[in-house]
Chains A and B, each alone.
Chain A
């Protein structure tokens, strides 16, 4: 298994603003590689450079063994791309969209019909064949977009937030499709905001402000966390969160529903201080226990001090 996507010191500026700031990573063939980061982190910008539709300001990148900067057209036969925004023709039917991309990729006559049927089945849209793409529910649209991106059977697939705004069932179906693709040896580069989705990835890179701040397998990322994570159950979670963020920002407080997570480097000393703070502010603590880091905790932690509100 070799490296099939590689970026070295990738930089992209828009005027004076640097959207991607010296990003380097390598993706193995057959891997599901996740790109995680908050809004505006530079995920889409990176993906567009990898797909050869946005020129990097500097840096090198290879996709499928091809230098994208010099031979963008060569690389295009090897990649499938699903953009963050639905970008098929809404005024064409499902089938017309599939036909269009099959024609654009010049699929050979003999296998064309078969492939088109196969992609229709893969998207699970046989029933919707003659519906306008614009009239499809969100989850169907995403599957159609995936189907069209896979029509020419590319070995490398770029998916930019493929499940944004899609219901949980559709998301699950979609990830089953992705797993199926990976099973067939395809390389998948996917960006996401969802932590459960990140757990499905073989490897992850966390990006913030255009820089990669952490990388590794989900397990590695979790294990790499030092200190102890405390989960605090209280009746006043919001007030508690605000308080800790003000007084002890270094503990990276984060809200998970009604639970407050704080990470402590030195449990013995910090726990006391925390309890005292809550007591002074009349915040009743129901329970406080050490738990293991989830990916979301890692995410909040590495995205910098000050804390983030989790979902």
Chain B
């Protein structure tokens, strides 16, 4: 007699083998599964290529001092903002923004130079057209970064003036400014997000289909009279599709890195390892959906339905930080959120495992719960 685990492993292996034969035999399915993500990546990549540079900017310099001109120049020479016009009265700003002639208005108030020199704080206003919230968010964050940089420089000058040389000040180190996306290319930001969304769509739908097919064709009933356990079936259904998920990742990464030139700051190995966990989770969700659905169409519909909150609340399209507080809490229930965060951090910040634990754990918990509940629901005895 084989031991409990050897028996279970043998049965899981047998179901996996069967699944693989079925997948390889269904050529149309295979092509669909492998080609669709590639096409999606290409389309998405071009559509998402709305780079945020040369944002038309109107300067309203009320101070007309050397300091104020310096600040304005910092904006205009950064490459992100370009001068669309100059105004004297801040009240004219609306006209420029409403007419779409400018996206950003920089208002430097009267007395800016005096306040700065007098070591007081001065309020520089940056008005941003938020019609395109993505662009607006990026523009706003760069504006504040430039202002912060100016502050630092002024602080340094001031310190020098009172006799402390810059090298001695540990206060400010330019390297600590983390620029997620220094080239400000939206594709760098979008491709990692797309990887997540495409992976979720493909894997979740796939297992869903494969599980429901078993129910529809009555083979699930035949399985039910054999000694195979529910969790063994669920696990065996998930495993082959993890392989397909990885193939998808390789294609998407290849396109992203070599075609769209997205730089990968972090480790490729880590990205793969953590993607494995995400694939497991999303497959688990697919299986869970399929235990509720009676037909393949239903499973597809449910998966689509499930995609909506994932797209909207994962931070893939809209930054979570810009959402109302209550909605921000809801995003914790969206598994894609964690993976988007992981992938973007690895891609853009070169994050390592220690910084990603807090995202990884909830993601894995989602997966284990999904597979567990699916196993319970894929009961062998019909109630």
Show the binding face of A for B, using Cβ within 8 Å: 48, 51-55, 72-73, 76-77, 79, 81, 83, 85-92, 96, 100-101, 103-106
Check B7–A88 contact: CB distance below 8 A: no
Check B2–A87 contact: CB distance below 8 A: no
Check A55–B228 contact: CB distance below 8 A: no
Interface flags for B7-33 (1: CB within 8 Å of A; 0: not) read 100110111011001100110000000
- Chain B interface residue count, CB cutoff 8 Å, equals 28
A77 to B221, CA, bound (A): 16
- Using A54-B381, A87-B221 as known contacts, say yes or no to A76 and B22 having CB atoms under 8 A apart: no
Chain B residues with CB under 8 A of A101: 226
Chain A residues with CB under 8 A of B22: 89, 91-92
**Measured between C-beta atoms, what is the minimum distance from A163 to chain B in Å?**
17
B contacts with A: majority SS: helix
Interface flags for B347-383 (1: CB within 8 Å of A; 0: not) read 0000000000000000000000000000000001111
The residue on A at minimum CB distance from B23 is A91
Check A55–B222 contact: CB distance below 8 A: no
A53, A91, A106: the one within 8 Å of B11 (CB): A106
Give me 16 other A-B pairs in contact (C-beta within 8 A), A87-B222, A92-B18, A104-B11 excluded: A53-B224, A53-B225, A55-B383, A72-B380, A73-B227, A77-B227, A79-B225, A83-B218, A85-B218, A88-B219, A89-B219, A91-B26, A96-B18, A100-B17, A100-B18, A105-B227
A159 to B13, CA, bound (A): 28
Chain A residues with CB under 8 A of B226: 76, 101, 104-105
Check A52–B18 contact: CB distance below 8 A: no
**Contacts between the two chains (Cβ within 8 Å), count:** 75
Chain B residues with CB under 8 A of A52: 225, 380-381
Chain A residues with CB under 8 A of B381: 52-55, 72
- Using A54-B382, A55-B381, A87-B219 as known contacts, say yes or no to A104 and B14 having CB atoms under 8 A apart: yes
User: Is B120 engaged at the interface, CB distance under 8 Å to the other chain?
Assistant: no
A149 to B347, CA, bound (A): 53
Chain B residues with CB under 8 A of A77: 227
A105 to B2, CA, bound (A): 12
B14, B219, B221: the one within 8 Å of A53 (CB): B221
**Measured between C-beta atoms, what is the minimum distance from A97 to chain B in Å?**
9
Check B219–A106 contact: CB distance below 8 A: no
A48, A54, A91, A103: the one within 8 Å of B14 (CB): A103
**Measured between C-beta atoms, what is the minimum distance from A184 to chain B in Å?**
21
Interface flags for B210-239 (1: CB within 8 Å of A; 0: not) read 000000011101111111100000000000
A57 to B252, CA, bound (A): 52
**Measured between C-beta atoms, what is the minimum distance from A107 to chain B in Å?**
10
- Using A103-B10, A103-B11 as known contacts, say yes or no to A96 and B21 having CB atoms under 8 A apart: yes
Check B11–A51 contact: CB distance below 8 A: no
Chain B residues with CB under 8 A of A96: 18, 21
**Measured between C-beta atoms, what is the minimum distance from A109 to chain B in Å?**
10
A275 to B218, CA, bound (A): 52
Check A53–B382 contact: CB distance below 8 A: yes
The residue on A at minimum CB distance from B383 is A55
Check A100–B219 contact: CB distance below 8 A: no
| A-facing residues in B151-166 (Cβ within 8 Å) | none
A72, A73, A83, A104: the one within 8 Å of B221 (CB): A83
A155 to B25, CA, bound (A): 35
**Measured between C-beta atoms, what is the minimum distance from B227 to chain A in Å?**
5
**Measured between C-beta atoms, what is the minimum distance from B332 to chain A in Å?**
37
